[in-house]
Chains A and B, each alone.
Chain A
Amino acid sequence: MSVLKLENLSYTYQGAPIKVLDHLNYEFENGKIYCIMGKSGAGKTTLLSLLSGLTTPTDGKIFFKDQDISQINKYNYRSQMVGVIFQGYNLLPHLTAAENVQLSMDISEKIFPDKVRHGFAALAKVELGEEKATRRILKLSGGEQQRVAIARALSYDPEIILADEPTGNLDGETQEGIITIFKKLAHEENKCVIIVTHSPEVAKAADVLYELTPVS
């Protein structure tokens, strides 16, 4: 059974009437890694924004477990059902890594026995120890910030992980570690992992590959 389903999904930018997505019909299931690839301007990030509920399709529908997401509270959907790893990380610079993670857990309103410990555990998963976890975001390197963004998306245990170039700033060894985490999430924890990437290494790890082509 698909956890996410696109039905004739189209998207046209407002203002400049450029169609970036045209009648997409994809299905995403739990327990698999999906990679969405394509050239720049093919609409990969737009698709991710649509899947995360940050924007609404101009045509067609997205179903989350057979429920049209336009009928679901977008804030609850974003804070509980999906974990988004943004390309620009979108972390709060005045908070520490651990506080950024804990804030997402707070916003999800899910109950955790020990929120602080759970937050640190999420950071430890992406190989960020307690010392790094208590640093403010701007005191961390680009790669470390990216790992914090991943930890934040995993922290509140969402059913779907949406990642936009999640390994873009990581070295080969760390990239491998992250791919392992995604595999574990999909294959062991039965999550649906959707990754937008240019990286052939990440694409190799995918169970299903979707290729987006620019709308002519």
Chain B
Amino acid sequence: MTLVMETERTAPDETYNFAYLDEETKRMIRRAILKAMAVPGYQVPFGGREMPLPYGWGTGGIQVTAAVIGPDDVLKVIDQGADDTTNAVSIRRFFRRVTGVATTGRTVEATIVQTRHRIPESALREGQILVYQVPIPEPLRRIEPREAETRKLHAYREYGLMHVRLYEDIARFGRIATSYDYPVMVNERYLMAPSPTPKFDNPKMTAAPFLQLFGAGREKRIYAVPPYTTVTSLDFDDHPFDVQSWDEVCALCGAADSFLDEVVLDDAGKRMFVCSDTDYCEDRRAAGHVGPEGADEADAPAGKKP
């Protein structure tokens, strides 16, 4: 177990209000979250503040987490499925500093998971909260750049543009050419951008027992999918939605059901595939699963992962 992620609860930095935001800002965000849950998939505008991390680097997710988190929570932060990518580390350090909460790399132990671009492979339970970092909350933005227009399209449930856009891919390529941030219909009413998670993760979103909150700091929108809410990926009768699959399994743990990262090994094209969700992979290895390249792990130098 990689120890750096596992930290005990500690005293927060008293220079700042708990979780950095002032109480007025927290109230505003809390109200926005509740309204977002009442209208699943609809983007609620909110008065986002400048945070100590830049716009585009997770400020929306951070503000949502900051409004929700309490001293007894256990926080996991991942980016691309891994706890140790630099920005996940940076965000986790920020919350350690301003809340003192215990942090973990283990999905099963977290009460709040803040994520960029992946949904954990280990199924989340009732009571857990998944907070997504969102760059572009508007699913229609690349088709229609004007906010004044897209607001109307959502108001009147006019999503024809999106269907046309997807069908253009079929006409050109023979299949839908969107592989991440794949648009979904939420509660059969609002078209929503799930954030740049791979479409592989879309099936995890529907009728889920956990709460999903989405924060876009730069665009200043919050949206939500309550537990047990339908989330349906757009498709056509003759071109049903399908997810990515690999011919390979995870080289370290042998998983055939997780999203795999491609690791380039040399400049001649030699590559291997490993689970993007590092916690899932470690759990499987701890349980005894071994992948094609995993057998040598026991010989790994001291100080590295067992």
Q: Do A and B bind each other?
A: no
